Amino acid sequence: MTKPESEWTWKEIPVGNVILEPGNASQYRTGDWKSLKPILDMEKCIHCGLCYIFCPDMAYNLNEEGYFIADLFYCKGCGICAKECPTGAITMVVEEEEK
């Protein structure tokens, strides 16, 4: 897909709405759903990976420095990571209030 679905005209839709490109659900921005977003306090993080394990959307990925970071394109803001974090390193913040 060269452009997001939300920009397609009706003429560009394949007959019967078939999806010809496998795995294009990865282009679905579930991050649009959230009102809260997780903020990580790196001082408190012990790299245990529980946020990564519990995230129902597999939004967490390990970065080069060894921290698990939520991909906000997919993160729905459910807060499970913050709830499960054993050191309280993750805080859920109202998106528009965070700078």
Partner 1 sequence: MGKRVGMEVSIAAAEAVKQASVDVISAYPITPQTHIVEHLSELVANGELDAEFFCVESEHSALSVCVGSEATGARSFTCTSAQGLALMSEITYIASALRLPIVMIIANRTLSAPLSIWNDHSDAMSIRDCGWIQFFVENGQEVYDHVFISYRLAEDRAVLLPAIINMDGFTLSHVIEPFEMIEQEKVDQFLPPYQPLYRLHPDRPITMGAFALPSIFAETKKAQEVAIWSSMPKILETWKAFGDMTGRYYKPIETYKAEDAETLLVTMGSFGETASVAVDRMREEGRSVGLLKIRLWRPFPFEDFRQVALKVKDLVVIDRAISVGGPGGPVASEVKAALYGYDSRPSVYNFVAGISGRDVAPFDFVKMVDKAEIEIEEGNREGYELYGVRE
CA distance 62 to 72: 14
Closest distance to partner 1 from the beta carbon of 27 (Å): 11
Binding residue for partner 1, selected from 8, 44, 61, 87, defined by CB under 8 A: 8
Contact call for residues 54 and 80 (beta carbons, < 8 A): yes
Binding mask 9-48 toward partner 1 (x if CB under 8 A, else -) reads: xxx-xxxxxxxx-x-----x--------------------
Contact call for residues 36 and 95 (beta carbons, < 8 A): yes
- At residue 76, φ and ψ (nearest 5 deg) are -90, 0
Binding residue for partner 1, selected from 2, 3, 6, 26, defined by CB under 8 A: 6
Using the minimum distance from each CB to partner 1, give the nearer residue, 28 or 73: 28
CA distance 72 to 64: 18
Could you list the residues that contact partner 1 (CB under 8 A)?
A: 5-6, 8-11, 13-20, 22, 28
